Amino acid sequence: MKDVGEDVAISSLHLFQGDMNLPPLSFHASLGEQWDEEEEPEEIEAMLKVVPPSYHQYLDVFSKVKAEKLPSHRTWDHHIESEGLLPPVGVIYSLSNQESETLWN
């Protein structure tokens, strides 16, 4: 059974294959850093039993605790100023006469 604290290095993740000439996405992650204190050791053990060994490096994807959280803020996050703004009045797409009457009545 794989130790959760063990370092897992993912040397290359190919997102696209075929004719696209894109470089592979490379990153390194430590599996021990992926777990919060909220994750119970019993839950981790249960996931290790049902997730195939070839996917153990991605155990954080199967975490119910992490699935309920938002990702951390990143440098490319941006704020969209929307206070006091309203969307334009009108329909986004054309409606039939019957649909328009139903909408406005």
pLDDT digits (tens, 9 = 90+) for 53-77: 999 888 888 888 888 888 888 888 8
Residues 34, 8 contacting (CB under 8 angstroms): no
**Helix intervals (H) in the chain:** 41-50, 64-67, 97-104
Cα–Cα nearest to 61, from 37, 28, 39: 39
Looking at residues 34-38, what average pLDDT do you find? 54
Domain boundaries, the chain: 7-67
* pLDDT of 22: 61
Q: Alpha-carbon distance 59 to 44, whole Å?
A: 8
Q: Alpha-carbon distance 92 to 40, whole Å?
A: 47
Q: Where does residue 59 rank: exposed (0-12), middle (13-18), buried (19+ CB within 10 A)? A: buried
Q: Alpha-carbon distance 53 to 69, whole Å?
A: 25
Q: pTM here?
A: 0.35
